[in-house]
Amino acid sequence: MDDVLTIFRALADPTRVRIMLLLLKMELAVGELAQILEQSQPRISRHIRILDEAGLAERRKEGSWVFLRPGKAPALDILQRIFRSDSIRSSDQAAADEAKLALVRKKRAEMAEQYFASHAAEWDAIRSLHLPEDKVEQAMLALVKDLNLGHMLDIGTGTGRMVELFGPHAEQVTALDNSPEMLRLARAKLLDDNSSPSGQTSLTRKTELRLGDFNRLPIKDGKIDSVIMHQVLHYAQHPEAVLEEVARVLSPGGFILIADFAAHNYEELRTEHAHARLGFSDESMNSWLKQAAIDLVQTRSLDGGKLTVKIWIGRKSDLGRIHPSGIDMSREETQNRRESA
């Protein structure tokens, strides 16, 4: 009874209802909420504290920023249905807040786009400044050396480095990026590839460069055997939604390799390099993959420098057997599945 009363008291203020409506649409920073609601950050923080105590909202600190998302109150499912009713969503106030929320989304997207545009030519060099990239690449190759890449999807291909690294071991490659400039660089980098051994398809001929967003992959369901996301996921505002989209395009038994930073507090990566997320914890990654029906089967930590690089490998559930090393994804087994399909 006390919990119910606490929730009703928390929602007795119109501003807190507006905050909940916004948080149900996307995770927001305190400053962004203050901007949308046109109120001071201290005032917004007081409202957030009340919502947090009622279990309606959760705070997550990343560096100097505090992000908010819906909490885990038992009654939240019922409240979501109420909040999403036409009578509330169609109100003038909700429409005005939605318009301002769209501006926040646009500002985030523009910040990332400006970064990519201004650093496209030096992107590989910038990544190498974060930590020893060659060691990360060696570890990634070692983890997938016995796996079937099949039709490989490189999300956020940038200048095409992951295509160069993994492409020779794949049957087909789709390299995706949301920046035409980056795709032009990748195309130029792969243009003179004539190094494939006799009898093998050249990397250029088996690679398709495509413009697209990781939130809406321009690929049909179940068409991909392997996904590589190298230093890409930290640009996602909603990593869990990106991983669900990856699961959609993965074939049964297909795998995803994510190489990114472990959770950290180096704020300059957000302010200077447009990182939406300051790394990831194993707990968050496992939870998001599980939600996307992907089993986390292997992890590896690579210490060195200020930041720790983590490699997570997940496999989309199927009826196959899990290898003791973590994955049973041999080329022979994959081919047998295709022939019997």
pLDDT classification of 192: cutoffs 50, 70, 90: very low
Amino acid identity of residue 51, one-letter, is L
What pLDDT is recorded for position 215? 96
Q: For 239-265, what is the mean pLDDT?
A: 96
pLDDT of 326 over the 70 cut = no
Distances (CA, A) of 97 to 36, 77, 310: 6, 22, 38
- Helices of type H across the chain: 2-10, 14-23, 30-37, 41-53, 76-83, 86-89, 92-119, 123-130, 133-144, 161-166, 180-190, 203-206, 239-249, 268-271, 282-291, 331-340
> Could you say which architecture CATH assigns to the domain 2-90?
Orthogonal Bundle (1.10)
- Which two structure tokens, joined as six digits, stand for 333? 């087994």
Contacts of 178 (CB under 8 A, 6+ apart): 156, 211, 212, 213, 214
pTM: 0.65
Residues of the chain with CATH 3.40.50.150: 121-340
Residues of the chain with CATH 1.10.10.10: 2-90
> According to CATH, what is the number of the domain 121-340?
3.40.50.150
Q: For 288-316, what is the mean pLDDT?
A: 94
Q: Which of 45-49, 56-60, 204-208 has the highest mean pLDDT?
A: 45-49
pLDDT classification of 80: cutoffs 50, 70, 90: confident
